[in-house]
Structure 1
Amino acid sequence: MPKVLISDKMDPQAAAIFRERGVEVDEITGKTKEELIAIIGQYDGLAIRSATKVTKEILDAATNLKVVGRAGIGVDNVDIPAASAKGVVVMNTPFGNSITTAEHAIALMFALARQLPEADASTQAGKWEKNRFMGVELTNKTLGLIGAGNIGSIVADRARGLKMKVAAYDPFLTPERAVELGIEKVTLDELLARADFITLHTPLTDQTRNILSAENIAKTKKGVRIINCARGGLIDEAALKAALDSGQVGGAALDVFVEEPATASPLFGTPNFISTPHLGASTSEAQVNVALQVAEQMADYLVNGGITNALNVPSLSAEEAPQLRPYMTLAEKLGSLVGQLEGDKIKGVAVEVEGAAAELNPKPITAAVLSGLMRAYSDTVNMVNAPYLARERGLDVREVRHDREGDYHTLLRVTVSTEAGERSVAGTLFSNTEPRLVELHGIKVEADLDGEMLYVVNQDAPGFIGRIGSALGEAEVNIATFHLGRRGSGPGGEAALLLSVDSPVPEPVLWSVCNLPGVKRVKALKF
């Protein structure tokens, strides 16, 4: 039974879902890094919110860990490269608190427009400063969205309902999606120059860090109001303070800060500044939603192999998993075969699918090929860290999909490029479930790839099969199955032989086979 640790406070329904799905769960919150390192080795999954920091040290201690699930959107507290290198899936729940966060941004926009916090404090202090708080309408104002993904698109929809004009800067926003959302796609400079309100909805990356820098804030329309409910670090806080003091920025509302918890900030006390303590996802509905989603996603992965909302591996739904599993098994075996045969000589990999395989999600198939191939370099490789290891080695990976159907109803071909040229292997599924090799370096040969095997390339000549059988028999190596193919239709050409054997072939026996007349290459294989 898989075992999961919930290390941050989470709705109790999450633990109930794990148990209903056959996953053992412990709820142990508030642990220090050292205390977490001491216990993490016994768990297959780790469910977190924002408090737990999943560092490389914790991942190194997590010897059984398969998945980290973040109940929420941001994963700044997870070392994703280290998790990928360890083969750990990292998931989040990007939709569970989207509406809540979008509504908080709209609420802060209203608060800025009508100076609600200051008006409330003044009125409750016994003052009646009606003329002091002269707000602005949102109607017909231009809202500039930096980031038009899931949350940004919800904000855009709400803003259009308020009769605002919406312009968005997002490199990934297509013209078609912009039309669908009813917004205008613009450059960042255009947005800064035109927006009356700017709200940020983008992750924190090297490209977005301080996207509202002093230089960019200076390009904004004088009196602009800025809202950030996304991530701390998107705005240069010192530059924002200076712009508020000078009047370049007419108001700012931050729900997130560079340093959190933000118990002291130069922005605090600045006129026309509103702050909230990272409340974007803090509604009862959102807390329940993200807890339920992360539990369902992690249980799907640990029990069924389904991968949803993963950040470092292709998604694979619980419905897709049974259909794709035979293809992924075939892909891994073909990858393992070329990895063992070509080793360090591989410079690039092409994964081709045709027939029925071309109708499936190719990403998990490619990941499975790389998992088998990279096993020649690491004994801890899996679908998660295989692409990471391939990039680390500088391998060029391509996916090719063919609509045609050839000799087989479904075919998967793996071609590797080496200094000596290209080498390819191909396989199919018998009865839609049984992986079978059907081509090896251009030679037709049908074989199961399983257990201990011996690969031999030889000059096709009479008596060779008898000689190799005798050599293995004299060494007491039992042959389980025998698969033979050759180039061309007549003798004298090159032949390939795949033998399944009941035990590993000792090194001296390999040398004796190498020395048989006509032998060009011998390689022991293991699947």
Structure 2
Amino acid sequence: MAPKVLVSDSLSETAVQIFRDRGIDVDFMPKLGKDKDALAEIIGNYDGLAIRSATKVTAALLEKATNLKVVGRAGIGTDNVDKEAASKHGVIVMNTPFGNMITTAEHAIAMMFAVARQIPEASESTHAGKWEKSKFMGVELTGKTLGVIGAGNIGGIVCDRARGLKMKVIAFDPFLSEEKAEKMQVEKVELEELLKRSDFITLHVPLTDGTRNILSKENLAKTKPGVRIINCARGGLVDEEALAEMLKSGHVAGAAFDVFAVEPAVDNVLFNLPNVVCTPHLGASTTEAQENVALQVAEQMSNYLLTGAVENALNMPSITAEEAKVMGPWIELAGHEGAFIGQMTDDPIKAINVLYDGVSASMNTAALTSAVVAGIMQATNPDVNMVSAPVIAKERGVQISTTTQDKSGAFEGYIKVTVVTENFERSIAGTVFSDGKPRFIQIKGINIDAEIGEHMLYTTNDDVPGIIGTLGGVLGDNGVNIANFTLGRKASGAEAIAVLYVDAPIDANVVAALKATGKFKQVKPLQFDVK
């Protein structure tokens, strides 16, 4: 059955057609997002939900969204989506951070020009029939120092445009390397130096606990007298009350704001101050940007629902379409290893460590780790997936760690999962052969070569004669056919294991019969979701 998507906000017909062209059943109801009750009534019918800002994806709505797999936001901001609740329900939340980069960067540059030359006030004065030529004395941008707080995607474009205007560009960004700064032809500085040297300051960072009020009263006091401040990123990055006072005192010569701490901003302390330019969150408001983000979200959601590719996800590691093709068998292996551990472990798990060796170490290990954790958690909660599993593990206090290393053995690469409980450690390793099929290659430190099937049986015993015959006899007497049989041992006469792939589930009578032979320390039927 084809995946089904609901578009509950205003997306372009071209974007809606992308879903149809990809074979997805789509319902286009652009006004539904404003009616939360009507939306809640039908949301359970859909695999995907495409939105802009009008639709509110709340915890209550997600409770009703029993089939929902992905929410796609056409735009950057996802304040209207409860991402924590989405993660707990296993729903991927995507946005489109690149569709409006140029538009937002251009708006910041336009706002910088506007505040430098007092264009809005001069326009209003001229429209009023005045000719106040001497009143509006501006400043040139050429030769001035622009301080860019946040030199990522949008900030990087602003840096490039500003250099074209012959400005001196300095940037504060903890994630900006010296090499990248040199390539961008900007000077990387600390925040204190940026505040002290900048003639203009523009912000291009998300709103987090670390960036909230990054231009606080204290930091604004450190700025160069006559500085002009532009914020087209997020409200809450600047202490608006403190900025208003410094505008009144003249320490700050001007400000241009497209975003505010409270929106819609119908009453703000910055309003009606001299040389303050305000716009109503227009950063992404161009025809091109609105079309770009709509097309992008349709493509991203289609790719995920049809191929498993995860792009621009906010609550799980992204997996490109190319990665999905290569990593598919490895993600399957990671899930199987987790499923083995989960089914074998009854004690509460304290820690999970995943070792990536060889080729697996060069892959998207964050996604692989999510698959491992999901496999473990699904043993007790079948509804868990790669999105919700890490959240649930964290809530339970499970410590998750990963290690990578170069190729260290006979295989081109492998994944080894170890879990720690109060009473023991348990480990399993696996690899993907050239045929694309996952295999278990080690359990409890014992080397094996076990094909993975839907129905399996795991036993442990002392290494003594007759084990193969006993297993074959009991399974044969109960009508269970063996598809694959693997044995391994630590040493002659020491602990040994058997891993069997069988054609039918192992029921309780078979388990009881095997235990009754007295030859097995452990008999465990296992189930795997084999594609």
Shared fold per TM-score greater than 0.5:
yes
Q: How far apart in 1 are the matches of 2:93 and 2:490?
A: 49
Q: How far apart in 1 are the matches of 2:175 and 2:283?
A: 23
Q: CA deviation at 1:515?
A: 4.7
After TM superposition, the structure 1 = structure 2 runs for residues 299-448 of structure 1, keeping only pairs within 5 Å, are 299-404=302-407, 406-420=409-423, 422-448=425-451
Quick check: 398-407 or 218-227, which moved more? 398-407
8 Å CA contact 2:48–2:71 kept in 1: the answer is yes
8 Å CA contact 1:91–1:308 kept in 2: the answer is yes
8 Å CA contact 1:7–1:52 kept in 2: the answer is yes
The equivalent of 2:37 in structure 1 is 34
Q: How far apart in 2 are the matches of 1:81 and 1:344?
A: 27
The equivalent of 1:9 in structure 2 is 10
Q: Deviations over 1:268-325 (max 9, x none)?
A: 2222211111110111111111111111111111111111111222221112212211
Given the alignment of the two structures, is residue 245 of structure 1 paired with residue 221 of structure 2, yes or no? no
Q: 1:395 to 1:131 in 2, by over 3 A?
A: same
8 Å CA contact 2:236–2:260 kept in 1: the answer is yes
8 Å CA contact 1:460–1:486 kept in 2: the answer is no
The equivalent of 2:167 in structure 1 is 164
Q: CA deviation at 1:58?
A: 1.7
Q: How far apart in 2 are the matches of 1:394 and 1:388?
A: 10
Quick check: 308-317 or 465-474, which moved more? 465-474
Q: CA deviation at 1:509?
A: 5.0
- CA RMSD of the aligned region, Å? 2.1
Q: Deviations over 1:324-353 (max 9, x none)?
A: 111111111111111222344533333333
Q: How far apart in 1 are the matches of 2:189 and 2:291?
A: 36
After TM superposition, the structure 1 = structure 2 runs for residues 378-527 of structure 1, keeping only pairs within 5 Å, are 378-404=381-407, 406-420=409-423, 422-472=425-475, 476=478, 478-481=480-483, 483-488=485-490, 490=492, 492-507=493-508, 509-527=510-528
Q: Deviations over 1:108-164 (max 9, x none)?
A: 001000000010111111111011011111122111111111000111111111111
The AA in structure 2 aligned to 1:103 is: E
Q: Deviations over 1:48-92 (max 9, x none)?
A: 122222221222221111111111122222222221221111111
Q: 1:344 to 1:270 in 2, by over 3 A?
A: farther
Q: How far apart in 2 are the matches of 1:425 and 1:184?
A: 49
Q: Deviations over 1:156-208 (max 9, x none)?
A: 11111111112222221122211111222222222222221111111111111
Q: Deviations over 1:211-270 (max 9, x none)?
A: 222222222222221111111121222222222222222111111122222222232222
State the TM-score, normalized to the length of structure 2. Answer: 0.93
Given the alignment of the two structures, is residue 100 of structure 1 paired with residue 103 of structure 2, yes or no? yes
Q: How far apart in 1 are the matches of 2:194 and 2:221?
A: 13
8 Å CA contact 2:463–2:489 kept in 1: the answer is no
8 Å CA contact 2:453–2:502 kept in 1: the answer is no
After TM superposition, the structure 1 = structure 2 runs for residues 75-154 of structure 1, keeping only pairs within 5 Å, are 75-154=78-157
The AA in structure 1 aligned to 2:236 is: G
Q: 1:32 to 1:236 in 2, by over 3 A?
A: farther
Q: How far apart in 1 are the matches of 2:208 and 2:112?
A: 25
Q: How far apart in 1 are the matches of 2:410 and 2:185?
A: 49
Q: How far apart in 1 are the matches of 2:365 and 2:179?
A: 25
Q: 1:433 to 1:316 in 2, by over 3 A?
A: same
Q: CA deviation at 1:34?
A: 2.1
Q: CA deviation at 1:470?
A: 4.9
8 Å CA contact 2:149–2:204 kept in 1: the answer is yes
Q: How far apart in 2 are the matches of 1:243 and 1:355?
A: 57
8 Å CA contact 2:359–2:407 kept in 1: the answer is no
Q: What SS class does the counterpart of residue 347 from structure 1 fall into?
A: strand
Q: What SS class does the counterpart of residue 345 from structure 2 fall into?
A: helix
Q: Deviations over 1:372-416 (max 9, x none)?
A: 122124211112222222333333333333332632344332233
Identity %: 57
The AA in structure 2 aligned to 1:113 is: A
Q: CA deviation at 1:421?
A: 5.1
Q: CA deviation at 1:447?
A: 2.1
Unaligned runs of 5+ in 2: none
Unaligned runs of 5+ in 1: none
Quick check: 407-416 or 181-190, which moved more? 407-416
Q: How far apart in 1 are the matches of 2:269 and 2:38?
A: 35
The AA in structure 1 aligned to 2:429 is: A
8 Å CA contact 2:199–2:228 kept in 1: the answer is yes
The AA in structure 2 aligned to 1:141 is: K
Q: Deviations over 1:11-66 (max 9, x none)?
A: 22110111111112122123322222222111111111222222212222211111
Q: How far apart in 1 are the matches of 2:412 and 2:246?
A: 66
Q: How far apart in 2 are the matches of 1:440 and 1:226?
A: 61
Q: How far apart in 2 are the matches of 1:277 and 1:411?
A: 53
